[in-house]
Amino acid sequence: MLKLRNVQSYYGNIQALKDISLDVREGEIITLIGANGAGKSTTLMTLCGVVPARQGQVIFEGQDITAMAPEKIVALGISQVPEGRRIFPYLTVTENLDMGTFLRKDPKGIKQDMDHIFELFPILAERRNQPGGTLSGGEQQMLAISRALMSKPKLLLLDEPSLGLAPIIIARIFDIIKRINKESNTTILLVEQNANLALKVADRGYVMETGSITMTDTGQNLLANEDVKKAYLGI
């Protein structure tokens, strides 16, 4: 479904991605783990077209999207929940969700999906007229995921959904991620620093270090791997 081939990206003159190749197949949950500054978020931003790749290729469903504008990539069915959630603070909860449907033209389907979201997250329904900025961290994360789902993505990119949240909330968020994957067959690429948690839900994982991928295996095998244990699981 998604292929990255020898992708290199830069911020100005600083190379952030040295040579990234990875594959995501339809229906999978793939995780990308690694330390701060390894280039995980940059990988997501590159495949969304925000930080365009200088070299290499990004291919989505057979189509080369390497040099495409971000809004065109979204139209193909890739949606990102970026790091730090990036809720529009002065838009209401409903308006934030509306923005997720920006490219859709089926008012009925939008209405249905909105109701479905409010069923899934009753707290968002309760706060629907409140500005996004007034929500708690966990509520904002739910809103960010919901906003991304409103565009009906085929591939959902999640950047550190556990960041700054209480363990109980994290557990709920991860349950929801699994549910999204199963119920609507949405493929998921999950970037996490919380390697333990991420590898447990993932079919396969990639380990990143300073702009390169150093290891790849199934989630289970990576969990059992001695190097991964030492470096990322703190065991």
Residues that bind other proteins (CB under 8 A): 48, 50, 69-71, 74-75, 79-80, 82, 86, 88-91, 95, 98-100, 102-103, 147, 151
CA geometry: angle at 223 spanning 210 and 18, to 5°? 15
Q: How far apart are CA 217 and CA 203, in angstroms?
A: 9
Asked whether 83 and 159 are in contact (CB, 8 A), the reply is yes
Cβ of residue 34: shortest distance to other proteins, in angstroms?
A: 22
Residues 6+ apart with CB under 8 A from 125: 118, 119
Q: How far is the CB of 226 from other proteins (least distance, A)?
A: 36
Nearer to other proteins, 47 or 195 (CB): 47
Nearer to other proteins, 98 or 209 (CB): 98
Q: Token pair of 229, please?
A: 């244990």
Cβ proximity to other proteins, 17 vs 148, nearer residue: 148
* Tokens representing residue 144 in the block: 């960010």
**Beta carbon nearer to other proteins, 88 or 214:** 88
Cβ(234)–Cβ(214) below 8 Å: no
- Segment holding 148, helix H or strand E: helix 137-149
